[in-house]
Amino acid sequence: MKKLAYNSSKQDEIKHLEKFIKTLEPDTYLSSLLTPVLVKWAKRQIELDISPDIMYSLKVVKEKYEIQLEINTKLSERIEDLKYAKHLTITQSCKIEKFKSDINDYKNDWELMNREIIELKKKNLKLKNALKSSDSFTNNLIKDYS
């Protein structure tokens, strides 16, 4: 494999990297280390002429990853809070519907009771009238036999 000179172009460096990757046997340490994603990243670094400080780049990536994990954790907690709030809302909604249903039942019971009271008042009035008639009949009988 041809050596790469310090004054090689970016394209020469990328070609050299690609040739080097092709020389690696599968399942070797280097082939496992130099994944397609890492190679793509390295090519991009070369194209953008970014400093080859891999440790710094890895540190930045690690920091971004940690920030992403923190965001994911907070979002997961918020999602759980929202799920619980939704559950409470549904529960309260069910209780409200039950309460409305109970109110309608009480209203129907109240109306039925009022109708029964009216019917009982009518019967009571009939009984009073019948009793008055009976009393006047009894009084007339007593007068007639006296």
List CB contacts of 2: < 8 A, sequence separation 6 or more: 16
Please check the confidence at residue 68 and state whether its pLDDT lies above 90: yes
* Tens-digit pLDDT profile for residues 95-120: 888 899 999 899 999 999 999 999 99
Residue 139 lies in a domain: no
Does 1 map to a domain?
yes
Alpha-carbon dihedral angle through residues 67, 69, 71, 73, given to the nearest 10 degrees: -150
Residue 4 inside a domain? The answer is: yes
Instruction: Determine, yes or no, domain membership for 2.
Output: yes
Q: Among candidates 1, 3, 10, 5, which has minimal Cα distance to 52? A: 10
Q: Tell me if 76 is assigned to some domain.
A: no
How many domains are contained in the chain?
1
Residue 29 resides in a domain: yes
Residue 86 lies in a domain: no
Report the distance separating Cα 42 and Cα 18, nearest Å.
11
Domain containing residue 28:
1-55
